[in-house]
Each structure stands twice: as structure tokens, then as C-alpha cells.
Structure 1
Amino acid sequence: MSAEKPVLLEARGLFKSYGKLPVLKGIDLSIGEAEVVAIVGASGAGKSTLLHLLGTLDAPDAGEVYLHGQKISSMSNKEVARFRNRNIGFIFQFHNLLPEFTALENVCLPGFLADRDEKEVETRAKELLTMLGLADRLDHKPSQMSGGEQQRTAVARALINSPKLIFADEPSGNLDSKNADELHQIFFNLRKDLGQTFVIVTHNPALADMADRKLTMKDGYLLQPEEVV
């Protein structure tokens, strides 16, 4: 990571087991502001588990996660949920859009949950969907959109609360190569235009090679980071 970039996210000594199975075996890492970091490795290496811990979706057995210097373990469950909603966005392989809601309603939902002004949220949602090429899909439900359109809607939803950090777990794993390439370019455009930070778990070598850094996991350990020249 470039020394010039302020640290946004830091993990110290993360361990996690499920039953008797150790999944993470002591993870230390730092993520800088406006950085795109790819996490790669074989299935079962611990990538998604690490993403869930960094994103406060799960708690480590040992170790600490800090976001903007705030220690997550010092918060109550309710405080963590509020903090996550306001500061972190998520994009998953399967977009997880609510099927009964339109694209606009899906994007607005995290904003409403954050108790923001409804008109302000709706205006921002329309701006994001338009920016992502979905101006004519506002009133469409997920079943009426293509896979690429659904995933771009999920990107807009992740951005609605202007989070400092977005985690993406195999975001293009369910897309064809054209839509995958378009989605990847969106990430880097957002980093350029908004200073957005991304941590992306991926098996896609093209996306991993585009990232500022590629971190490799193996058997619950984080190997030496590979800087992209």
C-alpha cells in the first residue's frame, strides 16, 4: 500500500474458527483510502470469512478490526449495525436484491434504514442509477432486468449512504465476460471520481490484476502482498 494514503481499515491478529475448524490463523492488514484491493486464493482459503470479519458481518474469535480508527469490538451489536449501515457497502455474487421491490426501491432501502430524509435518498438513488446507465430501469423489478443490470443496481444500493468502504464478494462471478468487464470498470471509475475504496474477493484474474494490490490467502493465512506495478 502506498505510504501516502491514509489508513482507512486495519485488522490486527484476526483468528476465526467454526467448531473445531480453524479458518483464519492470524491476519494483519491495512487498507488505504481510495485503494482497490483484491483478495485471491483457492476455495476454502478463508477469503469470504475474512471479508465478513472486516465488514463487521461476523466477529473474530481473537483480534481487532478498526475502521477510521474506531475499534469495532468496543461497540454494542446495535451500534455495529448502525455503523455498518452508514459506513460500509456490500456487493455480493448474487446481487441479493429484494424481488418484490423495484430497482429504485432496492437502492433506497439502506438510506431509509439510516433514517435519512426520504426525498433526499430518492434523489440520490436516481442519480446513482442514472450514473450506472439504469435511468430507464428505475421502476423495473429484478426479474425484469438482466444479470448485469441487477448487479449495477446492487452497486448503486451499496453507494446510497456514501460509505467509506465497499466490500465485494465475487461481484462478477455470476456475469458473462462483457458484463463482468463493464462492472470492473465501474469500480475503478468510482475510485477515480468519488475516491471510493474497494476490497474485493475474486477468482477473476483480470480484475485481480487491475487492482492496486493483490493479496493472496492460503490455508487461513495472508501471504506476502503482491504490489501491482
Structure 2
Amino acid sequence: MLKANNISKSYNDLQVLKNVELDLMNNEVVSIVGASGAGKSTLLHILGTLDKPDAGSLTINGYDVVALSANKLAKFRNSQLGFVFQFHNLLPEFSAIENVCLPGFISGKPDAEVKSRGKELLEILGIGARANHRPSELSGGEQQRVAVARALINDPNIVFADEPSGNLDSKNAEQLHKLFFDLRDQFKKTFVIVTHNEELAELSDRKVEIKDGSILYA
């Protein structure tokens, strides 16, 4: 599904990633772990096409994404990849359902189809009754579930999550972790999660550890 070969990335004189090699398969939860500054988030952003490597190749579902133009890459990202971040990144002026539906609207799908799918996802995630509430009216756990629904709205192959439970209390973090595995089983998605949470990392199908910009094991 995803193949990264000899990925390297530097910022000025600091080399953050060094010849990283990684393959991702269908229907697995992969945790990326390591100390702060090891290169975890940089790798996630490159795998998710949010940043480009200085060297190396990245193939996702047969597409050489490094070679795609900016416009084609944006369309590819919108249709095939989903993202969940630590601080939710929900638009405060929009309701939960409106936040969930935004990527679907951007993709050009019919509004009715997108809204129907958005409502369905919120129901599956247990917050259907909160669909018309704005983010400020939701708990942290509820906001993160809205972010997960948004990541799934376009039926992506891979969902990338950067410290998704880092801003949650232990109970909501545990529930979110369980949710990822339930969604893997229900929707047959691959989840790639940068985390400092050892419990989540140990539960994952695979744990990828990075140290000083290199993968120790995968």
C-alpha cells in the first residue's frame, strides 16, 4: 500500500531523517515511537504528503506521490488520506457535522451524499446527538471523535494520526485507542499513529521506533 525508500530530510544543517525505509500494509495499526526530536512527526508528515523529502521515493497505492504536481497531490491527499491531530484542528464557527463534511465538500461529492455519510460516521463514533454542536460545546474526547469522523469522510486508505490522545485524559485516551482498532476492523483501514503512549504502541500490530532520524526496527 505504501512504500518509502531512502527518505531523508534536513532543516538547515540539522538532518532529521536519514535514509528511512518503511512499508505499510492494508488493515493494520502502526505506531511510530521515539524520543522527542527523533523525527517521528517529520516522518508522519512526509508519509502523509504534507511535506516532501529531500531525497528518496514514496509510493502510495501505486502513485509516485513525490512526483505529483501540487494540485494533483492535493486531490490525492483529499481522496485517499485522512488526518487526525493532537489539537483537533476543528473550525470553531462550524458545527460538528459541518467540520466532518468539509473534506467531502472540497472533493466535489454531492452535498446530500456527504451529509448523509457524515451523520452516519458520527453515529458510529457515538456522538450522533452532538452533530449540531460547535466545538466549544463538546468535550475533548468528543472533539477528537469529530476529527476522526472528518478523517474518514472520504473513505481514505490510510489515516495518519499525530499524538491523537496527547491532549486527552486517560479515560478518553483509552477510548480513542480502542476506537482506532474498532475502525480498523470495521472499515479495513490502515492507521499510522505517532504516539508517546506506550500502551497504545504495545497494542499496535506493529511498532516502529525512530532514534536520531533512523528506524531501529519496524
TM-score range, shorter chain: over 0.9
Q: 2 CA distance for matches of 1:136 and 1:212?
A: 32
Partner residue in 1 for 2:131: 138
One-letter code aligned to 1:194: F
Identity %: 59
Partner residue in 2 for 1:111: 104
User: Which residue of 205, 213, 217 maps to 1:220?
Assistant: 213
User: Which residue of 187, 200, 204 maps to 2:197?
Assistant: 204
User: Which residue of 172, 175, 196 maps to 2:165?
Assistant: 172
Q: 2 CA distance for matches of 1:189 and 1:80?
A: 29
Residue 94 (1) aligns with residue 94 (2): no
Report deviation, 1:144: 0.2
Q: 2 CA distance for matches of 1:24 and 1:224?
A: 15
Q: 1 CA distance for matches of 2:77 and 2:90?
A: 18
Partner residue in 1 for 2:59: 66
- Structure 1 alignment gaps of length 5 or more: 1-7
Deviations 1:43-83 (A, max 9, x none): 00000000000000000000011101210122101100000
Q: 1 CA distance for matches of 2:58 and 2:108?
A: 26
Q: 2 CA distance for matches of 1:107 and 1:145?
A: 14
**Equivalent residue pairs, number:** 218
Deviations 1:112-154 (A, max 9, x none): 0000010000000000001111111011000000000000000
Partner residue in 1 for 2:43: 50
One-letter code aligned to 2:114: V
Q: 1 CA distance for matches of 2:186 and 2:66?
A: 32
Report deviation, 1:33: 0.2
User: Which residue of 5, 20, 26 maps to 1:12?
Assistant: 5
- Structure 2 alignment gaps of length 5 or more: none
Deviations 1:168-214 (A, max 9, x none): 00000000111001101110001111101000000001100110010
TM-score normalised by structure 1 residue count: 0.94
Q: 1 CA distance for matches of 2:46 and 2:30?
A: 16
- Secondary structure in structure 2 of the residue aligned to 1:153: helix
Partner residue in 2 for 1:182: 175
Report deviation, 1:84: 0.1
Alpha-carbon RMSD across the aligned residues, in angstroms, is: 0.5
